[in-house]
Chain A
């Protein structure tokens, strides 16, 4: 029995989940559980209450509304990857989802869970930022650029629940990551999106949180080719340095992954 004791509650609606949260001194929402449960097994997280969001209806969908693709928070990575809506409107996002973890992780892990957790090496935050998504919650809508505030920190208030994310559909986009060979998390991942000449480049894995690379955006708005981003000088200052990669190596990978993402967008 690895996790320390807690009370489990299955919420049947967002409203019920919020009420359960307010009633608890120390609660965690459980979506796919692909981070929370391993963390609880190691007792790095020891919540008193676990509120399961999996039974709430209406949170798993992929829907195109004009120039946005809206994905429900409880949509599993495998379903995002396989959805014909994702594959036709946003093939780069389908590819990103297909590269998260491994098949078992993709069968459980959810978009909302990944975005709310904001692991600095997670894939989805790069898509939220590069595709200028609106994160919809139980209380409001938050712009992608404002959502990720720090390492594992987001604009979400206590007890606020993500219900969906609405991604802007670009004219073309590409994602490329250098995965950690053991975990498949991004050592560096770069998402490039072209909205009729307005470029957004989001980098995950490299820093404490996802960030936009504005020099690359400017360069690509003039010349949308891999060569345009390959030699932009990226400072290692402020980038992550750990046993997986030094800050200098990550800086170098930003160039390489950005070039590959552009190549993917062009193909």
Chain B
């Protein structure tokens, strides 16, 4: 076991992890931050997308020990303290950017990363940026609408 300390959603968090623990399992199973999902076993689906030091990464493809000393933001960290939704979350709600909802946390975390790099992405850019996030309901049309709307908000 290795002791790690990192900032999660702005709060310092410590824990003991086996070296082989993936970051996503530390978040979900040790910290009960179950908003971050696991949709595949093969690092392809993007459901587990979180931000590491401000950049979108797949938390299933990083060991928790590697996050020691770093900043992690999960879907739980997006809404304001009073519970009001982040503009991207609000846009997903407004434009029905989800069907079953399983991919949604990853989609929203990727959208937040995308909008930090592209101010007003066009549809083609949004589609390219979502290459690593799969929606098995194939609900992409409304996800793209929601991200476009959030960019305008």
Q: Which of A8, A103, A183 contacts B129 (CB 8 A)?
A: A103
Closest to A181 in B: B131
Q: Answer whether residue A159 sits at the interface, using C-beta atoms and an 8 A cutoff.
A: no
Kindly specify which of B60-68, B88-96, B138-146 makes contact with the partner chain.
B60-68
Contacting residues, chain A, for B37 (C-beta < 8 A):
none
Verify B49–A104 contact, CB threshold 8 A.
yes
Verify B63–A8 contact, CB threshold 8 A.
yes
Contacting residues, chain A, for B20 (C-beta < 8 A):
1-6, 40
Q: Contacts A4-B20, A5-B19, A54-B66 known; A108 to B57 CB distance under 8 Å?
A: yes
- Size of the A side of the interface (Cβ < 8 Å), in residues, is 31
Q: Answer whether residue A197 sits at the interface, using C-beta atoms and an 8 A cutoff.
A: no
Give the CA-CA distance A108 to B21 in the complex, in Å: 18
Verify B55–A107 contact, CB threshold 8 A.
yes
Interface of B is mostly: mixed
Q: Give a binary string over A29-60; 1 marks a CB under 8 Å from any B CB, 0 the rest.
A: 01001100110111000000010101000000
Q: For residue A227, give the distance in angstroms from its CB to the closest CB of chain B.
A: 29
Contacting residues, chain B, for A5 (C-beta < 8 A):
18-20
Q: Answer whether residue B72 sits at the interface, using C-beta atoms and an 8 A cutoff.
A: no
Q: Answer whether residue B84 sits at the interface, using C-beta atoms and an 8 A cutoff.
A: no
Q: Which of B22, B55, B133 contacts A2 (CB 8 A)?
A: B22
Verify A52–B66 contact, CB threshold 8 A.
yes
Docked complex: B34-73 residues within 8 A CB-CB of A: 41-44, 46, 49, 52, 55-58, 60-63, 65-66, 68
Q: Which of B2, B19, B44, B114 contacts A103 (CB 8 A)?
A: B114
From A42, A105, A183, residue with most partner B Cβ within 10 Å: A105
Verify A37–B43 contact, CB threshold 8 A.
yes
Q: Answer whether residue A214 sits at the interface, using C-beta atoms and an 8 A cutoff.
A: no
Q: Answer whether residue A182 sits at the interface, using C-beta atoms and an 8 A cutoff.
A: yes
Q: Which of B42, B46, B66, B68 contacts A41 (CB 8 A)?
A: B42
**In the A-B complex, the 9 residue pairs with the closest CB atoms:** A102-B132, A8-B19, A102-B131, A38-B43, A107-B55, A3-B20, A104-B58, A37-B61, A104-B132
